[in-house]
Structure 1
Amino acid sequence: MTLQGWTLILVFTAILVALAKPMGLWLFALYEGRRTPLHVVLGPIERGFYKLAGIDPAAEMGWRRYALHLLFFNLALLLFTYAVLRLQGVLPMNSRGLTGLGADGAFNTAISFTTNTNWQWYSGEVVLSNLSQMLGLTIHNFLSAATGIAVAFALFRGFARRSTGTLGNFWADVTRVTLYLLLPICCVYALWLIASGVPQTFLSTVDATTLEGVKQTIILGPVASQEAIKMLGTNGGGFFNANSAHPFENPSALTNLVEMLSIFAIGVGLTWTFGKAVGNPRQGWAILAAMLILFVAGAGVTYWQEAAGNPMLHQLGAAGGNMEGKEVRFGIAASALFSVVTTAASCGAVNAMHDSFTALGGMIPLFNMQLGEIVIGGVGAGIYGFLLYALLAVFVAGLMVGRTPEYVGKKIESREVKLAVLAIAVLPLSILGFTALAAVLPQGLAGPLNKGPHGFTEILYAFSSATANNGSAFAGLSAGTPFYNALLGIAMWIGRFFVIVPVLAIAGSLAAKKHTPETAGSFPTTGALWIGLLVGIILIVGGLTFLPSLALGPVADHLAMIHGQLF
């Protein structure tokens, strides 16, 4: 470990804190539906869309209607993308003559991008045409991100509103987020990436001759436009198989830093937006503080383990940290930080191969996903997932002091607690259930390239990534089979929409309640005690749920490593 490495982690964290309020202010304007400076140019487009689609943006929706429109919208997107991928061979912008994807592969990919998971069993530059990359995939990067933010807005309204049965308008929320947030930032972001060396062209390939006289065919495409929303929308699907380790996606240390910051930018902003929405910005800062404690701790452990290296290699005379699977352009500290950022959020982009991390270094990204990626988290998904744990925390606090739990002016009763537990339980049921199935069936055991605990970790990581809608892979699992494509696709759908529906139900229940003023007997939810309780509840729930599986995987792998055993 070096001072430079720790400085990177601390400076990165400080920039995040500085971004929270400016991003939160813009998000709050969209949350309220207020006019922004961009309305002068984009307002006519928004109104034209509503008129063309026959939508009244002022028509409020109850939680059931909001959820129904959300589900049908995403189902339609899934079917559209499935058709594009299956028909790729007869569609235009396919100069390399690529054939359509098989049924199981198209099913998996369509669900993957619809759910903001962006799990990729294929090599993008080898399997997909430019049209499939843009029309089939990039469009989901915008709309799946907008869907997550819309759900967060609906939950904020549930806390903020009093005695009402409505949560806003789904179509208005998605349209405003896409038009006034995601598109403008990505236009500027993509231009900066182009200036930094990221390609943006409709040419599929270019031929080049190396200094040694070897002729090479280099694959190109509209990379910068996909890269921008891939990071900002915490999508993570790479244009190239090497993802953000590829120099065409991530050319330099500066682009690496900016890409990490863009993964977290909207997530930190939403914490401030929540505090503003409920009339107390300190609530948002308390949530952000709890998130950052977990984030810095995870980044520190991962960096420590990767910098320590492999003792078995040290015995052979190869001193130093673990550089296996890492880009020398970024080094250990930036690679370790990137791995924690991308799994704390629901991004899944990688600039190093997590399968090559040390056992405990790879365990932190795995545990981040198993917690539901609530440490900053995905756009929208992080904050609404974190608030589920906040409801559990106030429930526990209420039990300890013998009072009805209250949070930001709303009494938390049995309905909200049951729905929160239901949403949180979705992850372990899917992750552990599908992992157990794959670990005993021949089709599942054919996937891992390693034996022993490391092979088990490869399976566990895949279903953790799918259910948590992350999309990163341990890279040692051959997942492009009908068995894994089907099960991982189902896990992605469960992890996304089996959480969203209970969250919207909680929002509807809270919106119907009256506001309860704070009294001297109310449990404070802005101070150090509350932040500590939040962190404790998250770690206890996550630890009790997943510790046995982690013990069978990365912990056993680490113990084997320090005792000189290889698999």
Structure 2
Amino acid sequence: MGILQIIVVIGILLLLVKPMGTYLFHVFSNEPNRTDKWFSRIEKGIYSLIGLKKRDRMSWKKYAMSFILTNIVLVAFSYIFLRLQRGLPLNPNGIGGMEQTLSFNTVISFMTNTNLQHYSGETGLSYFSQMAVITMMMFTSAASGFSVAVAFVRGITGQKSVGNFFEDFVKAHIRVFIPLALLVTLVLVGLQVPQTLKSTLEVATLEGQTGQIAIGPVASLESIKHLGTNGGGFFGANSAHPFENPSPLTNVIEMLSMWLLPASLPYMFGLFAKNKRQGWVIFTAMMTLFVLLLSLNFYAESKGNPVINAMGIDSSQGSMEGKEVRFGIPQSSLFTAVTTAATTGSVNNMHDTQTPLGGITPLALMMLNNVFGGKGVGLINMLMYAILGVFLCGLMVGRTPEFLGRKIEAREMKLIAIAILAHPLIILVPTAGAFLTDLGKGAITNPGFHGLSQVLYEYVSSAANNGSGFEGLADNTSFWNITTGIVMLLGRYISMIAMLAVAGSLLRKKPVPETIGTFRTDNHLFTGILIVTVLIIGALTFLPVIVLGPIAEYLTLG
């Protein structure tokens, strides 16, 4: 039954990928289509308001600069709101301003689509901050990433230009995220997820004692948190909290919400490339890697903890420590894989309590940083590996590599090398540095191999812009707030800017006609090459530290 549950959810996703990918293509193709009659008037009003009547084409540099400057402005306003939230409206519980390093970490976290939380939402933020800062940045960070992905696709598929950032930014909001968020919010409210501005409830317990239950505008945050692959949570327990995720049905809705858009982008890419098979190659590679790592997690968690098994305690239901009984092993394992493959960071179980082998799955999915990915990041990174695979094959046969009719030369490979090497660098260097100072080691609550995994997970999650964590780490300190904030910035912007530069470079090149010697990138052979390329690069960079952490812990458990 557990495997059947997983197959059903994957089957629903497969049915939705083509229609959603087609819709996204119509939204961002900038050609007249049926969606115009619903949204064009609203968009024209916004364009007029912000002075964007002409919507001229941008170079990749101007596109990247517009993206960065927009993010800087949003970060500045959000930081001010968090610091001054005590005196701002919609604060019925009288929550004070957020500490400065925590404010820095929080605004960077949400603007980079990471949503790493070193605070507990119900006690650390006012309703105003939850909506005007957190929910707002969930929309804008997702729309920013989506826009860059679309620009990259336009560049490598030989469109007229990479587009106009502000036009893409507005369209992502008006035609994608806001309509879907409204729909999912209404569904979640109908399924008993709270949506209110009332203050904390005062209740009486069965023993006659009084207590408090935190509520608030939960459903609206939940919808965009998953649709935007943002992560985080209104409550500290995240999607394990019954108000955020009350039933197996809401669990499936939340998984599909965070999975559908990233999974549909490869099909959109195929439509831009005028070759749907190109899109299916990327999707197949993503899904193959996903299923392999999901299987590892499901197997390990179903087997249970070997230490508990050795004690003679019945663990026939698997390792249920840190998991909700309303989800069980299947929906917990699937949620774990989806949230890290889609770099969402929302969790319905505590990853820190997973078995050592099971914990490899979320780590590996974030380390690979291209298995579906967040809003556009997964597609960008998988196409980066596709170009690398073509380049390596070209070297082996002694001809200039080509991808989608354009030659891959030194400039493109240098930029791709920067993007590939930056990811392990910003993970492994801070991880090692954390063990060289008491500021880092002092946060570890579980010494030994698991302590290494706790520190490693924190920086992997930050670099992959995921946001989930091994919650045994005491990370709300100036050291962790600042270092993870820097890693999140580098993890978000280095690869995105580098790949925009690749798109701009390829866009300037003249198409090369296909010949009998052209290496095809739309068949099963290239799918296998792409998967192997991803696995080899991932193993070369991260296998040693995986051995020192989860694998060593597993071996010590016998």
| Displacement of 1:40 | 3.3
Listed one character per residue, the Cα deviations across residues 508-567 of structure 1 (whole Å, up to 9, x for unaligned) are 0011111223221111212211111111000000001001111111111111111xxxxx
SS in 2 for 1:26: helix
> Is this contact kept in 2: 1:9–1:299, CA < 8 A?
no
Aligned to 2:245: 250
* 2:412 is the alignment partner of 1:425: no
Aligned to 2:494: 498
Aligned to 1:397: 393
Which of 329, 333, 340 is residue 343 of structure 1 equivalent to? 340
| Displacement of 1:264 | 1.0
Which of 63, 66, 70 is residue 67 of structure 2 equivalent to? 70
Map 1:119-138; keep pairs closer than 5 Å: 119-138=116-135
CA distance in 2, matches of 1:311, 1:431: 30
CA distance in 2, matches of 1:10, 1:403: 42
| Displacement of 1:37 | 4.7
Map 1:67-466; keep pairs closer than 5 Å: 67-161=64-158, 166-320=161-315, 321-372=318-369, 374-466=370-462
CA distance in 2, matches of 1:345, 1:57: 35
* 2:529 is the alignment partner of 1:533: yes
Aligned to 2:16: 19
SS in 2 for 1:217: strand
| Displacement of 1:215 | 2.5
Alignment TM-score, normalising by the size of structure 1: 0.96
Q: Which moved more, 1:363-372 or 1:350-359?
A: 363-372
> Is this contact kept in 2: 1:57–1:172, CA < 8 A?
no
Letter of the 1:525 partner, please give it: T
Listed one character per residue, the Cα deviations across residues 463-520 of structure 1 (whole Å, up to 9, x for unaligned) are 0000110000011101100000000000000000111110110010011111223221
Listed one character per residue, the Cα deviations across residues 126-149 of structure 1 (whole Å, up to 9, x for unaligned) are 110000000011011111111111
| Displacement of 1:208 | 2.4
| Displacement of 1:57 | 5.0
Aligned to 1:483: 479
Alignment TM-score, normalising by the size of structure 2: 0.98
Letter of the 2:324 partner, please give it: E
> Is this contact kept in 2: 1:394–1:405, CA < 8 A?
yes
CA distance in 1, matches of 2:502, 2:249: 41
CA distance in 1, matches of 2:27, 2:393: 33
| Displacement of 1:213 | 3.2
| Displacement of 1:100 | 0.4
RMSD: 1.2
Map 1:517-556; keep pairs closer than 5 Å: 517-556=513-552
CA distance in 2, matches of 1:301, 1:19: 26
Listed one character per residue, the Cα deviations across residues 102-140 of structure 1 (whole Å, up to 9, x for unaligned) are 110000000000000000001000110000000011011
CA distance in 2, matches of 1:270, 1:365: 22
SS in 1 for 2:213: strand
Identity of aligned residues (%): 47
> Is this contact kept in 2: 1:20–1:271, CA < 8 A?
no
Q: Which moved more, 1:503-512 or 1:514-523?
A: 514-523
Aligned to 1:565: none
CA distance in 2, matches of 1:198, 1:402: 59
> Is this contact kept in 2: 1:9–1:296, CA < 8 A?
no
- Unaligned stretches of 5+ residues in structure 1: 563-567
| Displacement of 1:236 | 0.5
Map 1:39-54; keep pairs closer than 5 Å: 39-54=36-51
CA distance in 1, matches of 2:81, 2:444: 30
> Is this contact kept in 2: 1:200–1:225, CA < 8 A?
yes
| Displacement of 1:56 | 3.4
Letter of the 1:287 partner, please give it: I
CA distance in 2, matches of 1:5, 1:448: 34
> Is this contact kept in 2: 1:89–1:97, CA < 8 A?
yes
> Is this contact kept in 1: 2:323–2:348, CA < 8 A?
yes
1:57 and 1:10, CA in 2 relative to 1: closer, same or farther beyond 3 A?
A: farther
Q: Which moved more, 1:298-307 or 1:406-415?
A: 406-415
> Is this contact kept in 2: 1:264–1:377, CA < 8 A?
no
CA distance in 1, matches of 2:273, 2:510: 13
Letter of the 1:181 partner, please give it: V
Aligned to 1:7: 4
> Is this contact kept in 1: 2:27–2:35, CA < 8 A?
no
CA distance in 2, matches of 1:36, 1:253: 37
CA distance in 2, matches of 1:381, 1:257: 23
CA distance in 2, matches of 1:8, 1:532: 28
Letter of the 1:135 partner, please give it: A
Letter of the 1:515 partner, please give it: P
Alignment length (residue pairs): 556
